[in-house]
Amino acid sequence: MISSFLVLAIGACLTNSLVPEKEKDPNYWRVQAQETLKTALELQNLNTNVAKNIIMFLGDGMGVSTVTAARILKGQLHHKPGEETILEMDKFPFVALSKTYNTNAQVPDSAGTATAYLCGVKANEGTVGVSAATERSQCNTTQGNEVTSILRWAKDAGKSVGIVTTTRVNHATPSAAYAHSADRDWYSDNEMPPEAVSQGCKDIAYQLMHNIKDIEVIMGGGRKYMFPKNRTDVEYEMDEKARGTRLDGLNLINIWKSFKPRHKHSHYVWNRTELLALDPHAVDYLLGLFEPGDMQYELNRNNTTDPSLSEMVRVAIKILKKNPKGFFLLVEGGRIDHGHHEGKAKQALHEVVEMDQAIGQAGTMTSVEDTLTVVTADHSHVFTFGGYTPRGNSIFGLAPMVSDTDKKPFTAILYGNGPGYKVVGGERENVSMVDYAHNNYQAQSAVPLRHETHGGEDVAIFSKGPMAHLLHGVHEQNYIPHVMAYAACIGANHNHCALDNSVGSPSPGPLLLLLALLPVSILF
């Protein structure tokens, strides 16, 4: 115990030495608070414009503790203590909380949640684009229970639409935008049970190409699900796991091309060089599939073959914004979730930092006057950091004391469960004997599991732009797309929008009053 107190005392001294000189002056904090107050008072002038454009950033698995840790990492990557750093999403004026549970799950998965925040209806775990009347893996419960997404509503309103993800384009999050499937894992017909195929259900990759044939931008991973079984991959010729998976023999890339009008300019690309060589102003439709499965982690990314999320977002917006009616864009930082599942906090947090850069990129290319931007997560993870670490402590570093029980050091970052559970000689592993700063270090966990689990707490919703103030409290997750659609005057609930003949565009009436008066039967 004495050694622990000594470590704490030393840590306290170090903490004081790390305090920036300006922060020792009380006026620094007073001026900062007054500036924040002034900004808050200006928010009383609400932005009630119609949202011409909607951009939704979804950080898969990006719970509040993940946001905080990524903020510190971002600052430390710029050689600052980190805690005072401001993420791009931190700059958004409105913040709310989202209740993430699925209809049949207290702790949710990414499929049921995607159905909620894209389709406006809560659903069962493992299902996408269907109501809770559909049971997972039961194909015969699908028909008649399909629900459409805000991507479809935007497309029906004449807007351009796009999907950008760091996972497979037929993974849980993006698939809820266009597919209706009783099982999120039906990536191609190869992953479907014969019974489901015989009952007429279609795999998610097939639905991507057939359900909404004119999605202007699709970018991410998932090449192998588009090609016939055992077709050699263009990039990984010797890797059997990268080969095509389709049992029906279809080449979905060719089908995608065949659906595009001849007078339009359609481009399929599979690497970063091809993507960045495009002139977005001369592209009407873009399909970019940069990996056989999920895209590489940002820390592992090949700068020649794989574009960053920021680069994909930049190209997507340039293509989509050509439509005078506006656009809807779904952007997923999908591998945040994968890093956490693997217990690799460093990978997960670098994914968040990259997504935050993409958020900033989108902000420079659009205006808050006509673009509603929403940043949120589908669910959290059992990820935490603590241990009374001093200011500026590496987010991946050790706590300033050892355990008062087993007398061993521990990292600030820990997981409630997962693959990081290590026992050496009958005792908890001594982390000072391993490289805990390694990109793939698996942080220690309390309970051994092959894959760390999701967390069940609420997640944040950051918003800016027209009607962003409607995301203001604690909401059910399925409320989110209703707000986005309301702001853009799309979908079923646009009775509040009247045509302004002077400018030829819809403008909102007395919004909240009319919304309150509308009968539930005519809403989504």
**Helices and strands in the chain, H and E counts:** 15, 21
My answer on whether 303 and 437 are in the same domain is no
Q: Round to whole Å and give the CA distance between 248 and 155.
A: 29
In a domain, 217, yes or no: yes
| Residue 509, C-beta contacts closer than 8 angstroms, at least 6 positions apart | 496, 497, 498
Which pairing describes strands 454-455 and 371-377: parallel, antiparallel, or unpaired?
unpaired
Q: What is the pLDDT of residue 77?
A: 98
Q: How many domains does the chain have?
A: 2
425 with 362, same domain?
no
Q: What is the pLDDT of residues 238-291, one digit of tens each?
A: 999 999 999 999 999 999 999 999 999 999 999 999 999 999 999 999 999 999
For residue 44, what pLDDT is reported?
A: 86
pLDDT the model gives residue 10: 43
pLDDT value, residue 520: 40
Question: What is the DSSP secondary structure assignment for residue 190, as one 8-state letter?
Answer: G
In terms of DSSP bridges, do strands 427-428 and 423-424 run parallel, antiparallel, or are they unpaired?
antiparallel
> pLDDT (tens digit, 9 = 90+) per residue, 185-209?
999 999 999 999 999 999 999 999 9
Helix axes 110-119, 479-488, angle to 10 degrees: 30
Residues 444 and 473 occupy one common structural domain: no
* Residue 6 is assigned to a structural domain of this protein: no
Distances in Å between the Cα of 318 and the Cα atoms of 212, 338, 364 are 21, 29, 12
394 part of the active site: no
Q: Does residue 12 lie in a domain region?
A: no
Annotated binding residues for Mg(2+) = 60, 171, 173, 332
Residues 6+ apart with CB under 8 A from 279: none
Q: What pLDDT is stored for residue 506 in this prediction?
A: 55
Q: What is the CATH number of the domain that holds 140?
A: 3.40.720.10
In a domain, 266, yes or no: yes
**Do 375 and 290 share a structural domain?**
yes
The rounded distance, in Å, linking the Cα atoms of 132 and 508 is: 33
Identify the pLDDT of residue 493. Answer: 78
Assess whether 166 and 266 both reside in one domain: yes
In a domain, 164, yes or no: yes
d(CA 376, CA 460): 6
Contact present, 471 and 47 (Cβ < 8 Å): no
Task: List binding-site positions.
Answer: 60, 171, 173, 332, 337, 341, 378-379, 454
Catalytic residue among 65, 98, 110, 380: 110
Q: Are residues 228 and 289 in the same domain?
A: yes
Assigned domain for 497 exists: no
* pLDDT at position 13: 47
Are 440 and 462 found together in one domain? no
Residue 237 and residue 201 share a domain = yes
**Range of 220's domain?**
47-381+455-488
Please check whether residues 63 and 208 belong to one and the same domain: yes
State the binding site for Zn(2+).
Answer: 60, 337, 341, 378-379, 454
Do 277 and 402 lie in a common domain?
A: no
Asked if 68 and 196 sit in the same domain, the reply is yes
Domain closes at, from 390, 421, 448: 448
Same domain, 272 and 297: yes
Positions in the chain whose pLDDT score sits under 50: 1-15, 500-505, 509-524
